[in-house]
C-alpha cells in the first residue's frame, strides 16, 4: 500500500540519512581505530613496565570499599573535557587505581596466595588473545587454540606416562570447574542412568556418594551439591598430622558409608591441598579405587605442576593411575588466571561428562575439523582460548623454565621451614611438601587465653603494614599463619624480615593487651 501524501512529506530525505549513518560510522570507527589501539597499548605497557620493575616490599593496601567506590566514581564522572590529553590522563588514572589497589603479586613481599606474578610474556600474549578473540570451544572459531590444546595434551600427558592417543585433556575456566566436570564424568560413568533419569533414578533406599579428604578444597563438596550429591553424601576421610588421607582408614570409612545406604562412586584425592600443600597417598588410594570400582579423581589444582620437574615429579607417584586429574596452570605455571587443565586417562570418558545433542553446534559424526572441538568435553560454550598463554611460554621457553622456578620455590619453602625450626618462638605445623608453609608465632609471653585469635590478629596487622601479604588457615579449628611462595624474588632474607615483623606486631598486640587490663 502506498503511504499517504502527508507521511511521505515527514520522511527524512536520503541525503540526511546517509549523513547520519556516516556520522555514526565515524563515531564507532574511533573506538576501533588501529592507531589509537597502539597508542593506548603503549601507554598501558609503559605503566606496567614501571610496575614490574618495582621490586620493593609491597603487600596489599586494603582500601575501604566506600573510599574505592568514590575514587572510581570520580573517574567515571570526570568526563566533560574530552580533549585527547585529558582522556589519556583518565586512562592512566584508572590503570593506577587498578594496579595500586591490587595484591602486589610481583613484589617479594607477596607470600599469600596461590596465584602469582605471571611470566610477563603470557600477559602480552593475553592481549593478543583478547584482540583476535577466538573463543575456543569449537575448532571453527579457534583453530590454533584447539590445535595447541592437542599439542599441550601430548606434552603434558607424557609426564604421567600416558599415551596422548588414548588419553584426553580439556581446558576449563578454573580448577573448580575442572573438578565439577570430572565429578560429572565420574557420575555418568559409574551411574550411567543418571544423565537421563537424574539421581533419583537409582536403586530405592541407596544414595550416590563421593569420598573426599577432610581437607579437600571447598569446591569439591560444592560440585557434589551441584550434581545432586548432598552434603550428607560426601564422605569425609580422616587425615593424619601431615594432613594426608590415612589410607588404612579408607576401606572402613567406605564400609560404614555403605551401611548407611551410601554408594560411593568416586574417590577424590588432593595433590596438594590448598591449606598445606599436602599430597594424599595417591598410589594406595588408586589401589582402593580399583578394588572397589570407584572413579579415582586427583585434584591437582595446586600441585600437579610438580609434574614438569624431574626432581619433584616422584612426589605425585600414583597420579598416573587416576581416571582424571585437574591442574591449574594459573597457579604454579605462572600464567594469568584462568587456565585450568582436566586430564582423563581414557579419552572416551572425556565425552561422558556431557551427553547432549544440540544441533546448532554439535555434529552427529565428527569430521576432520569437528573432531578437534572441545565443546563436547567442557561446560563453557563461548570460552577463552585458555591454552594459548601456556602453549606460547612452553614453546618459547620450554619445560625446564617452569621446572626451575618450581624447584626454586619448593627449596625456599624447605629453607623457610628450617628458619622456623631454629626460632624458639615459632612453631612450623608441618614440613612442606611443596611451596606452602603453615606455622604459628608462639612467644613465651603469650597467655593461653589469647592463643585462639592471636595469629589472625597478627595476620591482619601484617596486612595493614602493607609490606607483606600472607594468609591464614584454620588448623583443627585454630587459625595459623600460611605463606605460599610464588615469587622467585622472595628470598630467605625476606622471610626472616617477615618473621621479625610478626614478632614486632605480635609483641605490640600483647603490650596493648596489658594496657587494657
Minimum distance, C-beta of residue 185 to ligand PLP, in the bound complex (Å): 17
The footprint of ligand PLP on residues 164-203 (CB under 6 A) is: 174-176
Spatial separation of the C-alpha atoms in residues 397 and 334, rounded to whole Å:
13
Which one, 216 or 289, has the nearer CB to ligand PLP? Answer: 216
- Beta-ladder partners of 344: 168, 324
By beta-carbon proximity to ligand PLP, the closer residue of 332 and 375 is 332
Tell me which residue of 515, 497, 167, 197 sits closest to 351, measured CA to CA: 167
**Residue 305 Cβ vs ligand PLP, minimum distance, rounded to whole Å:** 11
Q: DSSP for 221-278, please give it.
A: HHHHHHHT--GGGEEEEPB-TTS-B-HHHHHHHHHHHHHTTEEEEEEEEEBS-TTT--
Q: Which is nearer to ligand PLP, 278 or 375 (CB)?
A: 278
3-state SS string over 13-42? CHHHHHHHHHHHHHHHHHHHCHHHHHHHHH
Burial letters 84-116, b for 16+ CB under 10 A, else e = eeeeeebbeeeeebeeeeebbbbbbbbbbbbbb
**Residue 89 vs 214, nearer CB to ligand PLP:** 214
**301 in contact with ligand PLP (CB under 6 A):** yes
Cis amide leading into 338 (omega within 30) = yes
* Residue 490: φ, ψ to 5°: -70, 125
Question: Taking the complex as a whole, how short is the minimal distance between the CB of residue 328 and ligand PLP, in angstroms?
Answer: 5
Candidate residues 104, 110, 112, 114; the one interacting with ligand PLP per rule CB under 6 A: 114
The minimum distance between CB 210 and ligand PLP, in angstroms, equals 14
Using the rule CB under 6 A, give the single segment among 268-276, 358-366, 394-402, 432-440 that binds ligand PLP. 268-276
Minimum distance, C-beta of residue 183 to ligand PLP, in the bound complex (Å): 12
| 302: contact with ligand PLP by CB under 6 A | yes
CB of 170 to ligand PLP, least distance (A): 14
State the minimum distance, in angstroms, from the CB of residue 204 to ligand PLP.
34
Instruction: Determine phi and psi for 440, rounding to 5 degrees.
Output: -130, 150
Least CB distance from residue 49 to ligand PLP, whole Å? 28
CB 356 within 8 A of CB 308: no
Q: Does 219 bind ligand PLP (CB under 6 A)?
A: yes
Asked whether position 217 contacts ligand PLP by CB under 6 A, the answer is: yes
Report how many residues bind ligand PLP under the rule CB under 6 A.
14
Residue 270 binds ligand PLP (CB under 6 A): yes
> Which region, judged by CB under 6 A, interacts with ligand PLP, from 74-82, 190-198, 229-237, 267-275?
267-275
Give 194 or 340: the residue with its C-beta nearer to ligand PLP: 340
Whole-angstrom Cα distance, residue 484 to residue 420? 15
What's the rounded Cα separation, in Å, for the pair 9 and 409?
77
Burial level of 368, CB count in 10 A (0-12/13-18/19+)? exposed
Identify which of residues 142 and 175 has a Cβ nearer to ligand PLP in the complex. Answer: 175
- Asked if 389 is part of the footprint of ligand PLP (rule: CB under 6 A), the reply reads no
Measured from the CB atom, the residue of 285 and 499 that comes closer to ligand PLP is: 285
Q: How far apart are CA 209 and CA 263, in angstroms?
A: 5
SS (H, E, C) 462-474: HHHHCCCECEEEE
Report the alpha-carbon distance of residue 219 to residue 226 in Å, rounded: 10
The reply on whether position 275 binds ligand PLP by CB under 6 A is: no
**Rounded Cα distance, 37 and 33, in Å:** 6
| Residue 328 touching ligand PLP (CB under 6 A) | yes
Nearer to ligand PLP, 278 or 393 (CB): 278
**Among the listed residues 395, 366, 377, 312, the one whose alpha carbon sits nearest the alpha carbon of residue 341:** 377
Nearest CA among 248, 263, 325, 324 for reference residue 293: 263
297 makes contact with ligand PLP (CB under 6 A): no
For ligand PLP, which is the closer residue by CB, 114 or 490?
A: 114
CB of 126: closest distance to ligand PLP in angstroms? 16
Residue 513 CB partners (closer than 8 Å, separation 6+): 447, 450
Nearer to ligand PLP, 277 or 506 (CB): 277
Can you tell me which of 146, 340, 374, 490 binds ligand PLP, judged by CB under 6 A? 340
Least CB distance to ligand PLP at residue 484 (A):
10
Residue whose CB is less far from ligand PLP, 107 or 172: 172
Taking the least distance from each CB to ligand PLP, the nearer of 156 and 419 is 156
Taking residues 74 to 113 in sequence order and writing x for each that binds ligand PLP by CB under 6 A, - otherwise, the string is ----------------------------------------
Q: How far apart are CA 31 and CA 37, in angstroms?
A: 9
Report which of 401, 350, 347 is spatially closest to residue 376, judged by C-alpha positions: 350
**Residue ranges in contact with ligand PLP by CB under 6 A:** 114, 174-176, 217, 219, 270, 273-274, 299, 301-302, 328, 340
Amino acid at each position: 500500500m502506498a503511504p499517504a501524501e502527508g507521511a511521505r512529506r515527514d520522511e527524512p530525505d536520503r541525503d540526511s540519512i546517509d549523513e547520519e549513518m556516516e556520522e555514526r560510522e565515524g563515531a564507532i570507527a574511533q573506538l576501533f581505530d588501529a592507531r589509537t589501539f597502539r597508542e593506548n597499548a603503549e601507554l598501558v605497557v609503559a605503566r606496567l613496565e614501571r610496575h614490574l620493575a618495582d621490586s620493593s616490599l609491597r603487600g596489599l593496601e586494603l582500601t575501604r570499599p566506600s573510599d574505592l567506590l568514590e575514587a572510581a566514581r570520580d573517574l567515571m564522572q570526570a568526563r566533560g573535557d574530552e580533549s585527547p590529553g585529558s582522556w589519556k590522563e583518565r586512562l592512566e588514572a584508572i590503570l593506577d587505581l587498578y594496579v595500586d589497589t591490587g595484591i602486589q603479586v610481583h613484589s617479594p613481599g607477596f607470600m599469600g596466595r596461590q596465584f602469582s606474578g605471571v611470566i610477563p610474556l603470557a600477559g602480552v600474549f593475553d592481549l593478543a588473545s583478547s584482540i583476535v578473540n577466538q573463543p575456543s570451544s569449537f575448532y571453527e572459531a579457534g583453530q590454533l587454540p584447539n590445535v595447541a590444546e592437542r599439542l599441550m595434551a601430548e606434552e603434558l600427558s607424557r609426564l604421567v606416562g600416558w599415551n596422548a592417543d588414548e588419553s584426553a585433556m580439556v581446558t576449563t575456566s578454573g580448577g573448580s570447574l575442572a573438578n565439577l566436570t570430572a565429578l560429572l564424568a565420574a557420575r555418568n560413568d559409574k551411574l550411567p542412568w543418571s544423565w537421563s533419569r537424574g539421581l533419583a533414578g537409582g536403586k530405592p533406599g541407596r544414595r550416590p556418594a563421593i569420598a573426599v579428604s577432610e581437607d579437600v578444597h571447598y569446591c569439591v563438596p560444592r560440585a557434589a551439591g551441584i550434581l545432586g550429591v548432598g552434603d550428607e553424601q560426601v564422605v569425609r576421610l580422616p587425615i593424619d598430622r601431615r594432613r594426608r588421607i590415612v589410607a588404612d582408614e579408607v576401606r572402613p570409612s567406605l564400609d560404614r558409608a555403605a551401611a548407611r545406604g551410601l554408594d560411593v562412586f568416586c574417590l577424590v584425592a588432593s595433590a596438594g591441598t590448598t591449606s598445606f600443600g599436602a599430597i594424599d597417598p595417591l598410589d594406595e588410594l588408586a589401589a582402593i579405587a580399583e578394588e572397589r570400582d570407584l572413579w579415582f579423581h586427583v585434584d591437582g589444582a595446586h600441585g600437579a605442576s610438580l609434574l614438569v620437574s624431574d626432581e619433584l615429579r616422584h612426589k605425585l607417584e600414583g597420579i598416573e593411575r587416576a581416571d582424571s586429574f585437574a591442574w591449574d596452570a594459573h597457579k604454579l605455571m605462572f600464567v594469568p588466571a584462568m587456565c585450568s587443565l582436566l586430564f582423563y586417562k581414557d579419552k572416551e570418558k572425556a565425552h561422558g561428562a556431557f551427553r547432549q545433542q544440540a544441533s546448532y553446534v554439535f555434529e552427529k559424526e565428527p569430521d576432520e575439523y569437528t573432531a578437534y572441538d572441545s565443546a563436547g568435553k567442557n561446560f563453557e560454550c563461548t570460552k577463552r582460548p585458555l591454552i594459548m598463554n601456556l602453549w606460547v611460554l612452553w614453546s618459547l621457553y620450554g619445560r625446564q623454565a617452569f621446572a626451575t622456578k618450581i624447584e626454586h620455590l619448593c627449596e625456599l619453602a624447605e629453607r623457610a621451614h628450617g628458619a622456623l625450626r631454629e626460632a624458639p618462638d615459632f612453631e612450623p605445623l608441618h614440613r612442606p611438601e611443596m611451596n606452602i608453609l603453615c606455622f604459628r608465632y608462639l612467644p613465651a609471653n603469650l597467655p593461653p587465653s589469647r592463643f585462639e585469635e592471636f595469629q589472625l590478629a597478627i595476620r591482619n596487622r601484617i596486612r595493614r603494614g602493607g609490606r607483606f601479604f600472607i594468609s591464614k588457615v584454620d588448623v583443627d579449628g585454630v587459625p595459623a599463619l600460611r605463606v605460599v611462595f610464588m615469587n622467585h624474588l622472595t628470598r630467605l632474607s625476606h622471610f626472616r624480615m617477615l618473621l621479625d615483623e610478626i614478632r614486632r606486631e605480635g609483641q605490640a598486640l600483647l603490650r596493648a593487651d596489658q594496657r587494657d587490663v
